[in-house]
Amino acid sequence: MNENKHQLPAEEQMVPKLTTHIEGLDMIAEGGLPKGRTTLVSGTSGCAKTILGVQFLINGIVCSEESGVFVTFEETPEDIMRNVRSFGWDLLTYREHEKLAFVDASPEPQGHSLEAGHFDFSALLARIEHAVSKVGASRVVIDSIGSLFSQFMDAGRVRQELLRIVSGLKRMAVTTLITAERTEEGSKIARYGVEEFVVDSVIILRNTREEERRRRTIEILKYRGASHHKGQFPFTISDQGIEVQPLSSMKLTQTSSTTRISTGNTILDEMCGGGFYRDSIVLLSGATGCGKTLTVTTFLYEGCRSEERTLLFAFEESREQLLRNAKGWGMDLKQWEQQGRLKIICAYPESLGLEDHLIRIKKEVAAYQPTRIAVDSLSAIERVANIKSFREFVIDLTAFIKAREIAGLFTVTTESLLGGTSITETHISSITDSIILMRYVELMGEMRRGLTILKMRGSYHDKSIREYQINDTGMHIGSLFKNVGGILAGAPRQHIHGETNKLAEMFEASS
């Protein structure tokens, strides 16, 4: 007897998926939503359930030539069309061209409440089926079932009626999103606690408060018969709708360049073994005023001189301040800006959420196509996020940059003038390829600056601590701090005469 005679071919055993054309969502869903089935989208008020629904329909029309039907139980079609116009979605035109149909079940302003037990869902299903047939829809959005079942008090009745609707939609062979409200974060997935059992997949949208800011996340909680990425993923609402940041979906598959680029300073190039790697991420750490912005300026200026395109994201100084300071160091950045080799983007970190900053940076990079990027400083951005979110931000940003073989120079600020590490540096030092430390050194009643290369993946580098000087011609790296120890610890002290030789002999004897 053939034991496999009732088994379906492998391709027929898999749940077919319908792409939403929301890139991050399709990535964490590993291809899209279950095709021909129903997905529940749950969330509290203001978490973008309706936007996701409309975007799902619009993307189907624009990207796949798939018509859609929007069933509304709360807002009128006119209100919905007006509310999403800011995203550039012209629903009226799609409706006129019969790419989109509305089923208006919104309450009449002076209407009376329906009584449980007398509502016939057959009429509703007939209206949906008529609309689906009229425009040839393959996508349906129902917004929202909380209003639909508001007249029912019995959860068992809700489950029975919802199952009836889901079965009806499945017979129509349409892929459906049904939105549902949660009363508060952490509460039941939907109002009646039974909705998630009837559908094939469940998406939860969250809009949680973290200190003084809100953070939006999306999670696929359930997906019958198919794998998907687990956990919460940050998303934001841009002028193009919902944009998901699928951090855990990123892969360490970037290529590795052996090409070296100049830092703009000959001595620093030699200390790095011939310059930075073309696709390396370099962290520049130091206290305020020790020369980080000057080093960044020199790095970008050298890129402009080499006919590269460079991009600076400044979160602490304005464009005019940066241009003035650079000119004071003998570097005319304005000329490069006018020639299109430099672009400066300045913003306070508090002006946007962390995900919004990330999306903006990515869009600027995609549009401008630079070969060098500098962020001054990451410590400023960290002010607007918690530790986990910030680390995710840096991982996503560095992966994005490295995938395009762009050299990145990021600055972080240490709290202590002498020695110590920054909180930022502690969290992201393992993510970056190279770390350059800049420290103040107090010697003989004088404050001087020192620079050393702490780490440089895949390359020899100078391990000495050299003096870093600033004058009206820019940065200069001088000789070693001889006979001085404890600089990185923030407690420099001069070795007494002969102690250095004694230490050298000690190491020679042990080797």
In this predicted model, what pLDDT tens digit does every residue of 323-358 receive, in sequence order?
Answer: 999 999 999 999 999 999 999 999 998 888 888 898
Residue 407 near residue 433 (C-beta atoms within 8 A): no
Check residue 263 and give its pLDDT: 96
CA–CA dist 61, 332 (Å, integer): 49
What are the phi and psi torsion angles at 173 (to 5°)?
A: 60, 35
Residue 382 near residue 353 (C-beta atoms within 8 A): no
Q: Is the pLDDT of residue 118 over 60?
A: no
Locate 486 and state its tokens.
């404890």
DSSP string, 82-100: HHTGGGT--HHHHHHTTSE
Return the amino acid letter for 12: E
CA–CA dist 179, 51 (Å, integer): 11
Residue 466 near residue 478 (C-beta atoms within 8 A): yes
Q: Which residues are catalytic?
A: 74, 316
In this predicted model, what pLDDT tens digit does every residue of 243-292 receive, in sequence order?
Answer: 998 765 566 666 778 899 999 999 999 999 999 999 899 999 988 888 99
Q: Is the pLDDT of residue 107 over 80?
A: no
Rounded average pLDDT over 67-80: 93
Rounded average pLDDT over 143-166: 80
Tokens 């992201």: give the residue: 428
Check residue 475 and give its pLDDT: 95
Other C-beta atoms lying within 10 Å of the C-beta of residue 132: 22
Check residue 371 and give its pLDDT: 96
Average pLDDT, the chain: 85
Return the amino acid letter for 2: N
Check residue 83 and give its pLDDT: 93
Comparing C-alpha atoms, which of 249, 227, 202, 234 is closest to residue 27? 249
Q: Considering the entire predicted model, what is its pTM?
A: 0.73
CA–CA dist 270, 9 (Å, integer): 62
